Amino acid sequence: MRLPTGNQTAAPVRQSSIDDQSKVSEHHPPYEKETSALPESDPGQSQNYFSLIARATNDAVRDWDVKSGRLSWPQGLRSLLSYELADGQDELGFWQRNLHPDDRVRVATAIRDALVGENERWTGEYRFRRADGTYAHLLERAAILRDHTGAAVRFVGSLMDVTARKQLHDQLCRSQKMEAFGQLAAGVAHDFNNFLTTILGYSDLLLNELHVKGEIADHISEVRNAAGRASALTQQLLAFSRKQPLEPKVVEVNSIISNLERSLLPLLGENIHIVCHLHSEKADAHIKVDPDQLTHIILNLAVNARDAMPSGGQLTLETATITIDDPHQPYIAIDELAPGEYVRISLRDTGVGMSDEVKAHLFEPFFTTKEQRSGLGLATSYGIVRQSGGEIRIESQKGKGTKVEIYLPKASAPAPTYKKPNTKKLPSGAETILVLEDDISVRHISVRVLRKLGYQVIEAANSDDAQRLITQSGGRQIDLLLTDMVMPRMSGRHFAKWLNQTSPHTKVIFVSGYLEESLQPGDRLDPDMFFLPKPFDSEQLAAKVREALDTAK
């Protein structure tokens, strides 16, 4: 598509326009009108003045004779766009060919409309190909010079490289979109976890209380297994939204990669060659992360790399320690990564790579380019890494492979600890428990499980009912409060504070479908407060209740 080269019909121009076409020539320097204000004592002063301005801004200048189609580049063709002067650059076609294909129609239409109208200026943004084949985002601000009939005869534009600004803007938009996705995912997972808690609880009761056997027991087991898989899906949503209750531990990064080597080889196939370059620091590089989740992330990335190399290739895993002194270091270029020491885990493949359009949607939940995939893999990875205080970065080009870098804060080596062996026995008791839960299904299954275990249970749907029951009981001792954190009228946290004033010895278990309403770090230091994430089954509820009751004051 070519821009108009003259003969446009336009309305008469304002008095400020050029009065005579003979005053305008392709041999005149740009912005001729403004030069008349400069002193005439030095004939070369005006030309040097504008040359200095162009050099100071580092902008490129293109001067287009609209009627002849001739194009000149007084400034910036080499310094800004890396082109050497050569034949063919004095034609408008040179500029048109190097416009990004997706921008050509839009920009051509906008300039054409400006030329046939009465505009004296035009401003627009577009992508322009540099000499090395990469694209720069340019902001062009142009002056349109017209003859006495109002026809455009000259178009002089100043081209500013706004690539960095565009990247920052896109980064901000992406962060805001991810935050909105996270809030939506957390809300859905929270409500869904209430349903799953009910399904898991009643499935256990059917299997255990009625001693169901045979085909019916198999059917109930299938229902429970399906609820378990659905629970795993909500955990992925929570991980994406960074509201999943992770179980972080201090681990050495090389040990995780070394253990994965044995898992990756059979997973990826014989035509994928794996190379590991692990850090050689004298001191081990530790990170505080949920090791199971980190393993899941790396395996998911490895599977993506395998799919990108259908004919075989090489997957390189690297670990390294880095120190970031300035968060704006250009070689890091990671948003929201504070200065400090980090451990970097890199996975690089030799696959087909990705387009810019695909990269723009990589971390969005349910976005996938593959059939029979949920589209939650990278979204989950993003949430887990961010929740662990780190960042994930992906670089990819079509035909040149993909590189994924995970940055996690470096942690101090852990001190040796002894952990008592766990027991699978379902604990019971006879203490008095107040169950405060507004979801009727979750409340009923919790009460039924606890009463079956021998506890004395008081139930309430909201804080007003709970306060009334406690007042009417005449000072009855409440040994444990099991409360959801989000409640109508008064939150579970505020009710726990009220109850503490009248019953300071009461232990508290906060229940939540996601971590946003969970305890603040200062509150979690209180040994009388515990957290139980939804969905939970009978065994998890019984174990957490016993753990809270057995904790000494």
Q: Give pLDDT tens digits for 181-206.
A: 656 666 677 677 788 888 888 888 78
Mean pLDDT of the chain: 77
Single-letter code of the amino acid located at 163: T
Given this model, what pLDDT does residue 84 score?
A: 83
pLDDT digits (tens, 9 = 90+) for 246-275: 578 888 888 888 877 765 666 677 788 888
Q: What is the pLDDT of residue 155?
A: 93
CATH of 249-411, one of 3.30.565.10, 3.40.50.300, 3.40.47.10, 3.40.50.720: 3.30.565.10
CATH class of 21-161: alpha beta
Which of 224, 217, 247 shows the shortest CA–CA distance to 535?
224
Q: Is the bond leading into 310 cis (omega within 30 degrees of zero)?
A: no
Q: What amino acid occupies position 189? A: A
The domains of the chain are located at 21-161, 167-240, 249-411, 432-549
Is the pLDDT score of 47 beyond 60? no
| Spatial CB neighbours of 361, under 8 Å, sequence gap ≥ 6 | 367
For β-strands 401-411 and 340-349, DSSP reports them as antiparallel
Judge if 167-240 and 249-411 fold alike in CATH terms.
no
- Burial pattern 388-421, b for ≥16 Cβ within 10 A else e, equals bbbbbbbebeeeebbbbbbbbbbbeeeeeeeeee
pLDDT for 460: 92
Report the C-alpha gap between 212 and 490 in whole angstroms. Answer: 41
Q: Tell me the C-alpha distance between 52 and 314, whole Å.
A: 51
| 272-277 vs 286-289, strand pairing mode | unpaired
Least confident of 78-92, 227-241, 504-518: 227-241
Taking Cα atoms as reference points, which of 260, 363, 353, 357 lies closest to residue 307? 353
Confidence class of residue 209 from pLDDT cuts 50, 70 and 90? low
Report which of residues 7 and 427 the model is more confident about. 427
Handedness of CA 85, 87, 90, 92 (dihedral sign): negative
CA distance 88 to 199: 72
Q: Which of 372, 408, 407, 404 is nearest to 305 (CA)?
A: 404
- CA 166 vs. chain centroid, Å, equals 17
Q: Is the pLDDT of residue 18 over 50?
A: no
Task: Flag whether pLDDT at 378 surpasses 50.
Answer: yes
- Residue 241 CB neighbour total at 10 angstroms: 30
Gap between the terminal Cα atoms of the chain: 80
* 193 vs 42, residue with greater confidence: 193
**Number of helices followed by number of strands (H, E) in the chain:** 15, 17
Token pair recorded at residue 175: 């962060």
- Name the CATH superfamily for 432-549: Response regulator (3.40.50.2300)
Q: What one-character DSSP code corresponds to residue 26?
A: T
Please state, in angstroms and rounded to a whole number, the distance separating the CA atoms of residues 61 and 77.
8
Query: What is the dotted CATH code of the domain comprising 167-240?
Result: 1.10.287
CA atoms within 13 A on the CB side of 243: 25
Tokens of 496: 């726990």
Q: What pTM value is reported for the model?
A: 0.42
pLDDT at position 374 over 50: no
Is the per-residue pLDDT at 170 higher than 80? no
pLDDT of residue 436: 94
Q: What are phi and psi of 345, to 5 degrees?
A: -110, 120
Would you state the pLDDT for residue 179?
A: 64
Taking phi first (over 0 means left), then psi (-120 to 50 degrees means alpha), and beta for anything else, what does residue 489 get?
Answer: left
**For residue 486, what pLDDT is reported?**
77
Q: Which residue has the higher pLDDT, 77 or 186?
A: 77
The H or E element spanning position 159 is strand 152-161
Structure confidence by residue, pLDDT tens digits, 399-453: 889 999 999 999 888 765 544 444 456 788 999 999 999 888 889 999 999 999 9
> What does the pLDDT read at residue 358?
76
- Supply the angle between the helices 538-549 and 440-452 in degrees, to the nearest 10: 70
pLDDT of residue 33: 38
